[in-house]
Structure formats: structure tokens, C-alpha cells
Amino acid sequence: MKKTTIIIVFTVVFSILFGNTPYKFENKQIKPYEWVVIDSIELVFAGDIMGHMPQIKAAYNKDSDTFDFEPCYRFIKPYIQSADVAVANLEVPLAGKPYSGYPNFSSPDELFEAPISAGFDVMLLANNHAADKGKSGIEKTIKTVSAKSKFAGVYLDVFHRDSLYPLLLDVKGVKIALLNCTYDTNGNPVTPPQLVNLIDTAQIRKDVATAKTRKADFIIMCIHWGKEYMLSANAEQQMLAQYFASLDIDLIIGSHPHVVQNFDYVYKPDSTQVPVYYSLGNVISNQTKRNTNGGILAKVVIDTKSHTIKKCGYTPFYVYKGEIEGNYQYYLLPTADYLSNRLTITIPQAQDSLLRVFDTDTRQRLSNLPIVN
């Protein structure tokens, strides 16, 4: 039997067994930082998980020839685990050795496993680096990610996509559909029959219709868009956001610019507000320029009865590159916790100053949103 026939048979069988069945999420244990709302679902979204070579070197243990990225998430883990569902954008292929950074990434599997251990449930794969390592990189990434988490945005073929997309999540009896697409793959070709979801307005309209046919109660668009390092959304992002609202999408989460952009609302035809987080910035990276050295966790609370949004907020965090207890790493520090001395750590004065600048800049840009502590 030919390999392509095997793939088709597998994906058709998978579709029959699982295609229209939402993934069920059990209630997570309540954590210290939970933003408690009765009869609600708490969603957390994070931006770009990058894999620059200095990060890989910092996580490497030459004695065991292994990588350990879990300390990176030590201080932000409670915020992630308190959510019913947590989602992040994995902006690197897990293509195996030789590992590489920008511009064509290939990261060790541990770089993905660490945020999963910290509490993330879903990885978004449709981004401009999805095809950095070609066909084999896409295949290995899907295989590795699907073994430990849900995912969206990149598929082996059309049958694979049809069986799993839109990603349906059953959370406390509410069916949430998650869409994911990107503006481009940096010109790197996607080898057929593989698929990377692109920003195709006609296809997105069909995907929304599919979500509704599968009885989705709430629809989220997670989109890789915009211009890098711009601190506010451009006209194209704004027009797309309004288009998504016209399709009855309920929430829009953006990534790609590597900085935190503004938060705003667009409106459905019936005047219902649709929150738009235009860009969440970086989760973790080696970028050091002002505004790239941190990001936010977006927190959104959905009413389980009306399926409407009750609250939107955010948690800013800074990427500290340095030693804590003798261990050099890239640590994600919630800035409010650090500034209020809830984190019993000390960082060098230069890093302290950069953290304070990032926190001030972010608070000013998101002055229309509350901080979740």
C-alpha cells in the first residue's frame, strides 16, 4: 500500500471517530492567582514562543546532553494553570538536530514540552516560521505536538485538516471553536499535500460556517498578522478584525509583531462587542529591544450560560535573562508580582530598570484594560 493511501485511510478513520467530537477539558485545580468568576470559563492566551540559539544554549546541560526550559515558566506558571484553557503560539518547528535559531528555526522538543508542563493546553502552529524546515519539519512538529497537546493551524493534508479543524474544545459544557491562520510562511513553500492555514477571507468564512454546523457556542480567531515592532494595529488588522466580527466571531487574539499592541473592540452587526487583543508580544525570546523583552497573558472570562464575555484583562511579564539561585536562564517574571515584592528575588539594577520600563510602557498602551494579579 502506498504511503499516501495509508495517510488518507488514517485521516478518514480519524475523522469518523473524532472529527466532530470536541476535546473535553476537566476543571483544573484552583491556583493562588485565579481570577474567580462564578459560572464562568477562564481562557488564557500567550503570544510568541521563540527559540533563539542563546535560549537553547542556556537550557542545555552538557553532562546529561539534555535541555531544561521548565525553570523559564517557574514564576508565571500559576497564572497559566489557573485557566480552564491556556493557548500559546509555538513559533518554531520542532525539526530535530541540528538546532538553529533565526531566520530558519529548529528547536529541541523540550522547548515545547516546558510550556505544556506549565499548563498550556493548545499550541497554535500557523505562523510565518511554520515551514522553516520544510516538509519534514512540519511532519515532525505535528507528530511531537499532537502527542502532548491540542493544536491548530498546520496539517498533513486536507483530510487531516477536515477531521480536526476548526479545533473544538468542550469546556464546562460550552463548545468553543478555535481558528488559527497566518499572513505568510516567509516565502518558504509548503509542500503538498501539507497545509498551513493562511489569511484567506473566503476560507475563513467557510471555517466559521463549519464551526456553527458543529454546534460551536463561541468562536475565537487566533491570527498571525500585522507589522513587526509596530506598537499599534495597522489599517489591515483593523479591517480584518471588523470582517471577523461580521462573521460572528466572538474574540480575536493576535500575534506576530513581537511587541504588545493596543486592545480595542470591534462590533458585530447586532452591535455586540468583540474584544481584539491585536498582539500579545513575545512569550519568550532573545529579543532585547524596548517593548520586545516581554509580553502579556490575555485573560478572558466567558459566561457558561449566555456564552458571552464577562471580563477581559491581562498580566504583563518581563523576560529576565540572568541568574536566579545560581541558575542562568530566561525567566518570565510577572511585573506586578515583582514590583510589589511578591517575588522574593533580586535582579541586577540594569535588568530591574528595563523591567520597570516595560511595565510602564505596557500599562500605558493597555490603559483600557485591567491587570490581573
pLDDT in tens, 52-95: 999 999 999 999 999 999 999 999 999 999 999 999 999 999 99
The pLDDT value recorded for residue 305 is 96
Total number of domains in the chain: 1
Please indicate, yes or no, if residue 361 is contained in any of the structural domains. Answer: yes
- Phi, psi for residue 146 in degrees, rounded to 5: -65, -20
Quickly count: other Cβ atoms within 10 Å of residue 230's Cβ: 15
Q: Are 274 and 245 in contact (CB under 8 A)?
A: yes
The span from the CA of 167 to the CA of 184, in Å, is 21
CA 312-39-308 angle, 5° bins: 45
Average pLDDT taken over every residue of the chain: 93
Please indicate, yes or no, if residue 15 is contained in any of the structural domains. Answer: no
Q: Are 86 and 46 in contact (CB under 8 A)?
A: yes
pLDDT greater than 80 at residue 16:
no
Please indicate, yes or no, if residue 261 is contained in any of the structural domains. Answer: yes
Q: What is the mean pLDDT of residues 192-217?
A: 98
Q: What is the mean pLDDT of residues 33-54?
A: 87
The span from the CA of 293 to the CA of 279, in Å, is 14
CATH number at residue 139: 3.60.21.10
Cα separation values, 272 from 27, 140, 178, 242, 275, Å:
28, 41, 19, 12, 10
Domain housing 195: 24-365
Please indicate, yes or no, if residue 16 is contained in any of the structural domains. Answer: no
Please indicate, yes or no, if residue 142 is contained in any of the structural domains. Answer: yes
CA end-to-end distance (rounded Å), the chain? 56
Q: What is the pLDDT of residues 115-155, one digit of tens each?
A: 999 999 999 999 999 999 999 999 999 999 999 999 999 99
Q: What is the mean pLDDT of residues 169-180?
A: 98
**242-261 burial: b if 16+ Cβ within 10 Å, else e:** eebbebbbbbbbbbbbbbbb
- The enclosing H or E element of 54 equals helix 53-59
Q: Is the peptide bond before 93 cis (omega within 30 degrees of 0)?
A: no
Nearest to 93 by CA among 55, 126, 58: 126
- Phi, psi for residue 356 in degrees, rounded to 5: -65, -40
Please indicate, yes or no, if residue 280 is contained in any of the structural domains. Answer: yes
The DSSP secondary structure of 101-135, one letter per residue, reads -TTS-B--HHHHHHHHHHT--EEE--STTTTTTHH
Question: In the structure, how many helices (H) and strands (E) does the chain have?
Answer: 10, 19
pLDDT grade, residue 22 (50/70/90)? Answer: confident
Please indicate, yes or no, if residue 292 is contained in any of the structural domains. Answer: yes
Q: Are 51 and 111 in contact (CB under 8 A)?
A: yes
Nearest to 218 by CA among 85, 307, 310: 307
The span from the CA of 323 to the CA of 308, in Å, is 43
pTM for the full predicted model? 0.92
Please indicate, yes or no, if residue 9 is contained in any of the structural domains. Answer: no
Question: What DSSP state is assigned to residue 22?
Answer: P
Q: Work out whether strand 85-90 and strand 282-284 pair parallel, antiparallel, or are unpaired.
A: unpaired
Q: What is the pLDDT of residues 280-293, one digit of tens each?
A: 999 999 999 999 99
